Each structure stands twice: as C-alpha cells, then as structure tokens.
Amino acid sequence: MAATVRRASRADVPRLVEIHARCYPDGRDDAERARRFERNPLGGLDDAWVVEDEEGVVAHAFLFSLDAFFGGRRVAVGAIASVGVAPEARRRGVASRLVEELGALSLARGDALTVLHAVRARFYERLGYAPPAPYVSLEVDPRALPEDPTRRRRLRMATGGDREAIEALHLAHAAARTGHVARPEALWDARFSDPRLAYFVVEESPRLSGYVAYRVAEEAPHGRVLLDVDDLVADGPAARRALVAHVRAQRDQVHSVRMDVAMDDPLLFSLCDPDHPGSGSARTPHAFARVSAGPMLRLVGPEALLVRGWPANGALAFRLRARAGPDLTYAIRADGGLAARVEPEGLPILSLDMRALASIAFGGLSVAGAHTLGLVEGTDDALAKADALLALPPYFSPDPF
C-alpha cells in the first residue's frame, strides 16, 4: 500500500519505542521511552503521528500544540519533535513526507509557525525552515560570576506555596523575550516533581522578585561537581544580581557552572577570568563558551505577521520570492502593538523569501544583518524603516522539546 500519515495508537507504542531507540540511542530504557510517548509533559499519544506503508510503521514524530511569545504576544505554534525513521526505510522521502504533513496539520489548526530542534539543519532548510538567532552555552568557574555589590537580598529555598508566584514570574519574563514558551501545567508538574531540580527564590515581602532553578551533580564519584542552571528569572536587575551571586556562592562545592543565555545577555560582559582554569589556543586564547543553534522556524504564511506583537508603529510591504510560481506582495501596518493587512501602494518594500522572513520577523535576526547576508533587498530607506519596525530580542527558549 502507499505510505500514509496517521495519528499513532496505543498498539503502535512497541514499534515507536523500537524506532526511537535506533534513532536516539541514549541511556533511556524501553519503559521510559514508552512513557514519553504516552505521557509527555507537552502532550501525549494523541500528539504522536506515524508513517505507515506495506511494511508497517516506519517513522514517527510529535506535533505538540504550544504558545510562544513574539513581540509580547502569545502566538500558537506547532512544535515538531522526535522525528525518527526506521533504518530500513531511510532515503525514501519518508521524513520529508512526515514533516510536510505535520506542517499542513499545524496550518489547518491555526498555528502561525512550526518550530523544531534539528539534528541535521540542511534537511529542514530544504523544507523551508530557517534557523533563528543562536544562543550562548556558558561553562565557567563559579568565581567568574559577579558578586552582588549590595548584598541586600537573601535567597531561601522555595516551598510548595511559591509555585504560583514562580509560574507568574516566568510568564512575565517569557512575554518580554522572543520564542519563550508559555509552559503548560503538565510541564510545570514535571519540573516541580524532579528531585534533582532545586529552586531558590528572592523574597521581597510580600512578593517574590526572582528565582533560580538548578541541578548539582558529580561527573564521576568524588570527581568534578557541575552546577547546571535550568532557569534564572527575575523581575528586575537587583533580583537578577542576587540570583547570579547565589550561584557564585556555591563555589566551595562546585567546580563548574553551566548556563545557557541569549546572545544579548549582559552577563557575558560581567564575567571575570571566565576561562580559568581552562586553556585556550593561539587562535582562541580565552574560550569560555560555545555558540549553539536554537530551534528552526517555518512560517505557515505571511499571515503569521498579524499575530506577533509590534513594539513600534509603521507600515511595510514584503515582496516574497516564491520557489515556484509568481512572487507574492504582502503589506502590513502596525499600530499600538497590533498589525493589519493593507494595500502595498506607496509603502517601503523589502524583497526576501519566506525563510528570511521567518528569521527576521520571528527569529530576532535584524534586517541589517539579513541584508549583510544577502537575504533581503531594498532601498536604504526601506531597510532602515524595516529594521526599526521588525526588531525583536534574539530568539532564546530554555525549554527544548
């Protein structure tokens, strides 16, 4: 029979586990893999899809329904995860068929874009996905982190009664960033039930002003101790300084701190001897971090521009270059944080394709940066106006899927 894409069923779980173990050969056992298909913090078996042909099920993937923030507004996104093809079915176009079908399903239910973490970016680029801005993965000696010069704020370990305040802090923080996920309750349940994850809060009576969540583990028995920062959220600079100083204060036990930050995080400018006690090279004498790729984005269409937030007012037209067929002109006017479609006559025009539009309008790539890369064309006036209108903070989300 011809290959078909359908929703997974409980009877498929053993086969899903088998394919997943061959595609993602990590330390998880079959029981844990089965649980992740049946009860995932981001969804469940209803969100799993398979490709079936005459040999049976040959591929699987999730399509989760999430909300993420862009320009201060919650935007519905389709999160594609765990794309896997059985070894005997590879190089047949199975993965392309599955990802394209999930994109169509995402469009049909009203998502503005699909996002995914790519194992091989080039494959997804051919399907129209564009990478957003990268992020920085720090690994430093805790003594490299700055002290809190005022030391006015003390931290305490969080209690169950702090959950609502912690969730509210995270939601407000997420709304101010690009790509942050609005965490569903099931994901919070999983996080708060994780015995390895410790929460500490900054309390300024009668409220919390920040929290940090991290794991501490030894690389080997009696070996180096690593502190992995999972979340660091504050409602202002003073609380953030206190949280960072708390992590620094663990230096008597901890040898190394790991922390992912956005490319524009000012913490990167405050580190002291961050390469200590490591060694560099003649080309990179003081390396202390690595650049990592975030999720890839694909817009379902230019209509996605209408659902993001617009911090600035103005109007702009886009000439969208098509892979096949005629180009499309789409124009918007942003006012008061919202955008509406308008006629393009007399407006500054940018010429670009949908991948570049995704990176600029949702990935945090500046118009000037895209122009430098040859991804967008326009007059100097159009480029300058578009840069001011489309600007977003760099894409950064601490919630992989």
Residue 330 is part of a domain; what is its CATH number?
Answer: 3.30.1050.10
Question: How many domains, the chain?
Answer: 3
Pairing relationship of beta strands 113-116 and 296-299 according to DSSP bridges: antiparallel
- The two structure tokens encoding residue 6: 């359908």
In a domain, 188, yes or no: yes
CATH number for position 15: 3.40.630.30
Of 73, 96, 111, which marks where a domain is finished? 111
Q: Are residues 317 and 225 in the same domain?
A: no
Partnered with residue 181 across adjacent β-strands are 68
Range of the domain at 93: 4-111
Count of other CB atoms within 10 angstroms of residue 241: 23
Side chain identity at residue 278, one-letter code: G
Same domain membership, residue 162 and residue 216: yes
Please, are residues 115 and 68 in contact by the beta-carbon 8 Å criterion? yes
57 occurs within a structural domain: yes
| Cβ pair 89, 58 in contact under 8 A | yes
Tokens representing residue 163 in the block? 């959950």
- Which helix (H) or strand (E) element contains residue 354? helix 354-361
Residue at 373 is within a domain: yes
Same domain, 104 and 9: yes
Contact criterion met (CB below 8 Å) for 22 and 44:
no
Geometric angle at alpha carbon 61, from 401 and 187, rounded to 5°: 30
pLDDT at 56: 93
Listed residue (316, 400, 388, 395) closest to 358, CA to CA: 395
Predicted pLDDT of residue 205: 78
CA 58 – CA 90 distance, rounded (Å): 9
- Per-residue CA distances from 169 to 124, 199, 234, 332 (Å): 34, 13, 7, 33
On whether both 284 and 305 belong to a single domain, the answer is no
The reply to whether 127 falls in a domain is no
Is residue 125 in a domain?
no
Residue 395 lies in a domain: no
Pair (246, 363) in one structural domain: no
pLDDT at 271: 93
pTM for the model: 0.92
d(C-alpha 345, C-alpha 353), whole Å: 20
What pLDDT shows up at residue 329? 96
Q: Are 173 and 272 members of one domain?
A: yes
* Token reading at 251: 């230096």
Are 206 and 246 contained in the same domain?
yes
Q: How far is 170 from 211, CA to CA, in rounded Å?
A: 9
Query: Is 269 found in the same domain as 159?
Result: yes
Same domain? 171 vs 260: yes
| Residue-by-residue pLDDT tens, the chain, 401 positions | 578 999 999 999 999 999 999 999 998 999 999 999 999 999 999 999 999 998 899 999 999 999 999 999 999 999 999 999 999 999 999 999 999 999 999 999 999 999 999 988 999 999 999 987 799 999 999 999 999 987 777 899 999 999 999 999 999 999 999 999 999 999 999 999 999 999 999 998 789 999 999 999 998 888 899 999 999 999 999 999 999 999 999 999 999 999 999 999 999 999 998 888 777 777 888 888 899 888 999 998 999 999 999 999 999 999 999 877 789 999 999 999 999 999 999 999 999 999 999 999 999 999 999 999 999 999 999 999 999 999 999 999 888 88
Number of H helices, E strands in the chain: 10, 20
Please give the distance of CA 201 from its chain centroid, rounded to a whole number.
24
Which pLDDT score is estimated for 220?
Answer: 82
Query: What is the distance between the alpha carbons of residues 44 and 28, in angstroms, rounded to a whole number?
Result: 18
Query: Residue 1: its pLDDT value, please?
Result: 56
Cα-based distances in Å from 228 to 13, 142, 199, 345: 32, 11, 12, 53
Q: 142 with 251, same domain? A: yes
